[in-house]
Chains A and B, each alone.
Chain A
């Protein structure tokens, strides 16, 4: 149980285009989802927290107009990287919180974004 999926697993795009990444909780309802970014050989940095039906809360330094987050349902959150640039290339990982078990996040497999 508590499986989180991400789609796509890898994406390559041209500079200036937008890319959407989906995060789904497959067998549970997630009231809260988190988006992280991980640079090579580095730790995970929290980008934003999204609660179903409300606006995401972004961490300091994260551009909300560049990284659009939508949490439209209890099983789906999306991250859209708008007008992507090479410096946006990274590994993006989402996690989902299981309602009723506040302390544990379940992580998706990640999406490798490469911007040419």
Chain B
């Protein structure tokens, strides 16, 4: 079984500051890990994913995340926040499946607030 814990339902940063959104996972099998962003009243957009290649994963809009197996973490970072980054961010985990799709299990989400 898989689960995800996102620490902090809200994170506030100033424009230009470092963004750090925390995600810890639990998985009984090797995981795939994902970060998605959701803007109000919209679906989810994939930011980046870890699928057992490089542990440091670079995504869109300047975001990156590092898979740390020893810490069971997959934190999302961005060096410099923009106002447009304000949104809800979801971390998700799935089992590494060899046949067919595996279910995504989502964290509870972190709302990123960016102030001028």
Chain A positions within 8 Å of B, measured between CB atoms, are 4, 6, 32, 34, 42-44, 46, 49, 51, 91, 93, 95, 97, 102-110, 112
Name the distance in Å between B91's Cβ and chain A's nearest Cβ.
10
Known pairs A49-B101, A103-B49, A107-B36; A112 contacts B41 (CB<8 A): yes
In the complex, the answer to whether A110 meets B97 with C-beta atoms within 8 Å is no
In the complex, the answer to whether A107 meets B44 with C-beta atoms within 8 Å is yes
Given A42-B108, A49-B101, 6 additional A-B pairs, CB 8 A: A44-B44, A44-B106, A51-B100, A102-B101, A103-B94, A112-B41
Known pairs A43-B90, A93-B43, A110-B43; A102 contacts B104 (CB<8 A): no
In the complex, the answer to whether B45 meets A32 with C-beta atoms within 8 Å is no
In the complex, the answer to whether B41 meets A46 with C-beta atoms within 8 Å is no
Centre residue among A4, A43, A93 by max chain B CB count within 10 A: A43
Is the interface on chain B under 10, 10 to 19, 20 to 34, or 35 or more residues?
Answer: 20 to 34
Set of chain B residues within 8 Å of A32, measured between Cβ atoms:
100-101
Task: List 17 A-B residue pairs with CB atoms under 8 Å apart, sorted by A's residue number.
Answer: A6-B43, A34-B104, A43-B108, A49-B101, A91-B41, A93-B44, A95-B44, A97-B101, A102-B97, A102-B100, A104-B46, A107-B44, A107-B45, A107-B46, A109-B43, A110-B41, A110-B43
In the complex, the answer to whether B43 meets A46 with C-beta atoms within 8 Å is no
List the count of A-B residue pairs having beta carbons below 8 Å apart.
Answer: 58
Contact of B107 among A43, A93, A97 (CB under 8 A): A43
Set of chain A residues within 8 Å of B101, measured between Cβ atoms:
32, 34, 49, 97, 102, 105
Set of chain B residues within 8 Å of A51, measured between Cβ atoms:
100
What mask results when residues 89 to 116 of chain B are scored 1 for a CB within 8 Å of chain A, else 0?
0100010110011111111110000000
